[in-house]
Amino acid sequence: MAGGSANMLSLDEISARLEIQQLLAEYSTAIDSGRFDDLDELFTDDAYVDLSATGGAHGPYGEVKSWLVPTLSGMAAYAHHVSNTDLRLAGETATGRTLCLNPLLLDAETKAVYLICFWYDDEFAKTSDGWRFRRRTQVKCIDKLL
């Protein structure tokens, strides 16, 4: 429901929500498939990314991508499972919080799995090319070596 109200969603709101859900899926799919250049189409030119809650980089999107590629490429396996997205639309902008469960196989020989659970707090902007991330911030819930 839009903004927590009991009103019916307009077609524009439904469209925006579906487009943002697709954006979230495209982000996870690009990372989990190792297609890091696909991420370039998902962010605004001035986007800021903060992955520091889970030990990652923070800064302008391009700088964080430069850190992300070699970091994830060195891991044996990983996956992003995202759900429970709560979107708040405000015209050409939106905010959202999405839960992410991210198991990482750190070493194929020992089969040690590190599980990170965090929220993505996002700010979105509607551009001429569709909805894009303007800001993406991780907020850690739990992490545990399994």
Does 108 have pLDDT greater than 80?
A: no
104 pLDDT band (50/70/90 cuts)?
Answer: confident
- 99-138: b (≥16 Cβ within 10 Å) or e: ebebebeeeeeeeebbebbbbbbbbbbbeeeebbbbbbbb
Reading the block at residue 20, the tokens are 């943002």
C-alpha 144/C-alpha 140 separation (Å) is 12
What pLDDT is attached to residue 77? 87
The domain segmentation of the chain, as residue ranges, is 2-145
Model confidence pLDDT, tens digit, residues 51-69: 999 889 999 999 999 999 9
What pLDDT is attached to residue 146? 46
| Average pLDDT over every residue of 16-21 | 97
Reading the block at residue 117, the tokens are 């659970």
Q: What is the mean pLDDT of the chain?
A: 91
Model confidence pLDDT, tens digit, residues 23-34: 999 999 999 999
The structural architecture, per CATH, of the domain 2-145 is Roll (3.10)
